Amino acid sequence: MSTFKSLHILNYRIWFLGALVSNIGTWMQRTAQDWLVFDHLTEHDAGAMGLTMALQLGPQLFLAPVAGLVADRYSRRQLLIITQSMMALLSTGLGILVVLGAGQLWHVYGFALLLGMVSALDAPVRQTFVSELVRDDYLPNAVALNSASFNVARMIGPAVAGVLTVAVGPGWVFLINTCTFLAMLLSLWKIPTASLRQLPRAAPGKGRIREGLRYVRFRPDIVVVLVAVFIVGTLGLNFVLFIAAMVGTEFGLDASAFGLMNSIMAIGSVAGALLSAGRGKPRLRMIFGAAAAFG
């Protein structure tokens, strides 16, 4: 089937499986961390939960251009090994603090910020690494399958994290997430460097970020997509906050219900990603039609 054609390529298949396991762990940690702040370290304080999310996601806003430049300049495989190892260490550190009963709100803030900074580098490297695994004509399909993997993990991870948070506590969920990073590191180790596509690297020199911004400035099609993503992402993607408030404050339920509701949210995302994988190329009318339907 054309929807899954990239999975016929061995290197991409190895990468896909490692990324799927790692993404499940990432969603487990996100869910456990949100509930830790909302229900364990505060009295259902949505503001504290929102601040934690801002600290973890905010660095991407400021570091993304630099991270993109780094991804163009250096070996993406080596960069991923570094970022995945650092995120595993951060997950381990926070997990140990929480399991020992020493975790405080400011600890979560600090680890969220550090994790956000590492993730800001990891995200563009991970997205562009796919271009070294498949041919250009397979690239839209491979990117769409990456999105499907992320959303399948989003469907599985929160539900598992909710049950485990109730059963053993959020600290152990963080430690389990550490193990899932090993799957990504193993997949990177199993992909021979010599088998990767050799793509041109960005030449050293100053002004590369300004050059990229100038390029975007004169591409109205890219600008309009970025504006749409910014509007939807800023004003629409706040589900975690109101789901936590509805589950914990309004209905008085526990972390398992919080995880389940986050998983249910992902079902539509998986369907959308698979539909995208079956399309030859993205269309602006599809992007804006989906944005309008979302609204």
Q: What is the mean pLDDT of residues 97-120?
A: 96
Q: Tokens standing for 273?
A: 């990603």
Mean pLDDT of all residues in 76-97: 95
Give 281's pLDDT tier (boundaries 50, 70, 90): low
Q: Please determine, for residue 207, whether its predicted confidence score (pLDDT) is greater than 70.
A: no
Residue 209 in this model has a pLDDT that exceeds 60? yes
Burial 118-155 (b: 16+ CB within 10 A, else e): bbbbbbbbbebbbbbbbeeebebbbbbbbbbbbbbbbb
Domains of the chain: 2-193+218-294 (1.20.1250.20)
Q: Record the pTM.
A: 0.84
- In this prediction, residue 60 carries a pLDDT of 85
Instruction: With beta carbons less than 8 A apart as the criterion, state whether 71 and 139 touch.
Output: no
Helix (H) or strand (E) holding 282: none
What whole-number distance in Å separates Cα of residue 133 and Cα of residue 128?
10
CA 272 to chain centre: 17
Question: Between these two residues, 110 and 143, which has the higher pLDDT value?
Answer: 110
Does pLDDT of 279 surpass 70?
Answer: no
- 193-213: average pLDDT: 74
Higher pLDDT residue, 207 or 109? 109
Q: How far apart are CA 215 and CA 230, in angstroms?
A: 19
For residues 169 and 254, the answer to whether their CB atoms sit within 8 Å is no
For residue 130, give the DSSP letter: G
**Mean pLDDT value across the chain:** 88
